Structures are given as C-alpha cells and as structure tokens.
Amino acid sequence: MSAGAVPIAPSAKRRRALPGTLVGAVIVLGASLALAFFPSLFAPYDPTAFDYNAIMQGPSWVHPFGTDNFGRNMLSRVIHAYRIDMQIAVFATTGPFVFGSIVGALVGYVGGWVEAVFGRVVDAVITFPFLVLVIAIVSVLGPGLRNMYIAVGVVDWVFYARLVSAEVRIQRRLDYADAARGMGYGHTRIIFRHLLPNAITPAVVYLMTDMALAILLGSSLGYLGLGAQPPAAEWGVLIADGKNFMTTAWWVSVFPGIAIVITGLGFSLAGDALADLLRVNR
C-alpha cells in the first residue's frame, strides 16, 4: 500500500428517501400551528359572537360546521380552539420531557441501587391510573389549565425517565463510552454530549405520542369542567357544550371531535417520521 491517503468509497454518500410520514406530519402539524397562531385569519366569524337568528343550524355554506345553541359559528370556535389545544400539547409535555430525560440519563448512567430504587418509584407511579390521579390533583388544586399542567407534570416525566434510563444503560456499556472515559472526559460531558444524543430517540418519538395524549387529556378535563374554562374555545369544552343536543344537533360535538382526531394523527405521523430520521447509522 502506498503512503497516500485512501479515498473514501463514493457509495458512502447515500441519500435517504424522504419518509412519506414526514410529508403528512408537516402538512397536518403545519396547518395546525398556522391555525393556532393566526386563528383570526382563518375563522370567518368571531367565535364568541352570539347570533340569535342562527341558533342550532346544521352545516351549510354560511356555517360549514353549523352553529351552537347561542348561534356561535362552530367553524370559528373549532379554529380558535387550536390555540388552546396546541398549547396544551406543547406545554403539558415539554417540561416532563426535559426533566424526565435528564433524570433518566443520570439514573441510567449511575446505575446500581439508584436505578433499582428509581425502578420501584416508576412502577408505583405507572400502576396508578393516570387519569384518576390527574383528576384528583386538579380537584385539589382547582380547575384550570395551569393546574392541569402541574398535575400532568407530576406523573408524566416518569415515562421519559424510564425510556431514557433504559437506553443510557445500554449505551454506557458500548466502547465509545469507555473511550470517552479513557480520554479523561468528565461525567457531565459523557452523559450529555456522548450518551444522551444516542439515547434520546425513543423519548422524542414518545414525545409526539404524548402530545396527542395531552390533547386527549386536556379535552377530557375540559369536558369534565376541570381544564379550560368556558367560554374559552377548547375542543373538550366544545364537545361538552354539544352533549345535551347530541341527538338533534350532532355537529356541535362531532366537528371538535374530528379536529382532535386529525391533530392526533398529525402527531403520530410526526412520531413515525422522527423515528426514521433520528435512526442511528452504525
């Protein structure tokens, strides 16, 4: 062999196909975010304006999603609800994701009895019915979105911590982690610069699922009157508004329900796309 540099095979430059799930996720979540940030651009009416001449009207060209018992335009109300529900999706999950990932990384890295104790704490939290616990906490703290975030945060970080700690435990045994220790790097650098980037993917994918779950939970609490408070437009609240007229005015409850389904689908697609994009090449 000559002493010259060895060229790298051109096949190393391979391109990955754009996952179809990514396209779907960008379309659905992009539209959802646009509606959340600029609802007034898209909503044809004021979502809180009463119109006693148009009460409980079915879907029509004037009111595509119909009107409710105060004559409020349902399309406008569903669109304005995007702001609160997208906010719930992000605010309820970001804190648990960040906190849980950090705790999980530390626990997985330290291992030993710390991990054993942590495992039992996780078991205890997970065996407790999530919705019941959240309802109990909100009942004590009082209804409202802020208290709902607190209640979710108390429980939800555990799931992220468990995912990340399991993954860090695998990663810390690989040679590159030993190589980093052998280089004399500090624990903080090894955990957050070397291990966590290789261990975070399952947690990021779960974050997407969790955002969809947060919207469902937020809507459930809204429906029960423990989350967003009327007259705020929130999908759970809207569904609750329509429940008394379900047989005569189905559209009041059904369209907010469809919005929940579509947004949840968007987050699921995003989760699949991220799992693809963040896959580690070995």
Partner 1 sequence: MREMPLISVEGVSKRFRFPRTAPDILTGRSPAAVHALNNVDLEVHRGETLGVVGESGCGKSTLARCLVRLLEPDEGLVRFDGQDISLLRPAERRAFNRRVQMIFQDPYSSLNPRMSVRQVLSEALSVHAMRQKADIPARITELLGLVRLPADAAGRYPHEFSGGQRQRIGIARALAVEPEVLIADELVSALDVSVQAQVINLLLDLQERLKLTVVFVAHDLRLVRHISHRVAVMYLGKVVEISPTEALFAAPRHPYSKALLDAAPELDPARRTCVAAARGELPNPLDLPAGCLFNTRCPFAFERCLAERPHLSNRGPAHLAACHLTDFGKPPPATIAAQ
Minimum CB distance to partner 1 smaller for 146 or for 189:
189
CA 138 to each of CA 126, 145, 222, 235: distance values in angstroms, whole numbers, following the listed order: 18, 9, 12, 19
Write the binding mask 53 to 72 for partner 1: x where contact by CB under 8 A, - elsewhere: --------------------
Alpha helices per DSSP H over the chain? 20-37, 39-42, 74-110, 112-127, 130-141, 145-171, 175-182, 187-189, 196-199, 201-224, 235-242, 251-277
Binding status of residue 185 toward partner 1 by CB under 8 A? yes
Binding status of residue 120 toward partner 1 by CB under 8 A? no
Binding status of residue 116 toward partner 1 by CB under 8 A? no
Binding status of residue 12 toward partner 1 by CB under 8 A? yes
Residue 109 and residue 195 in contact, taking contact as beta carbons nearer than 8 Å = yes
CA distance 223 to 239: 7
Minimum CB distance to partner 1 smaller for 199 or for 215:
199
Contact stretch for partner 1 (CB under 8 A) within 144-152, 160-168, 180-188, 216-224: 180-188
Contact stretch for partner 1 (CB under 8 A) within 6-14, 46-54, 135-143, 213-221: 6-14
Binding status of residue 112 toward partner 1 by CB under 8 A? no
Residue 173 and residue 109 in contact, taking contact as beta carbons nearer than 8 Å = no
Choice from 175, 188, 247, 248 touching partner 1 (CB under 8 A): 175
Binding status of residue 282 toward partner 1 by CB under 8 A? yes
How many residues sit close enough to partner 1 to count as binding (CB under 8 A)? Answer: 29
Binding status of residue 4 toward partner 1 by CB under 8 A? yes
Contact stretch for partner 1 (CB under 8 A) within 24-32, 189-197, 240-248, 252-260: 189-197
Structure tokens at 217: 């939970």
Contact stretch for partner 1 (CB under 8 A) within 122-130, 132-140, 151-159, 171-179: 171-179
CA 137 to each of CA 144, 148, 230, 235, 266: distance values in angstroms, whole numbers, following the listed order: 12, 8, 20, 22, 29
As measured in angstroms, the least distance from the Cβ of 220 to partner 1 is: 38
Burial class from Cβ neighbours inside 10 Å (0-12, 13-18, 19+) for residue 16 reads exposed
Minimum CB distance to partner 1 smaller for 132 or for 183:
183
Residue type, position 185, single letter: Y
CA distance 58 to 78: 15
CA distance 97 to 87: 15
Contact stretch for partner 1 (CB under 8 A) within 56-64, 74-82, 91-99, 192-200: 192-200
Binding status of residue 17 toward partner 1 by CB under 8 A? no
Give me the residues that bind partner 1 (CB under 8 A), please. Answer: 1, 3-9, 12-13, 174-176, 178-185, 189, 193-194, 197-198, 280-282
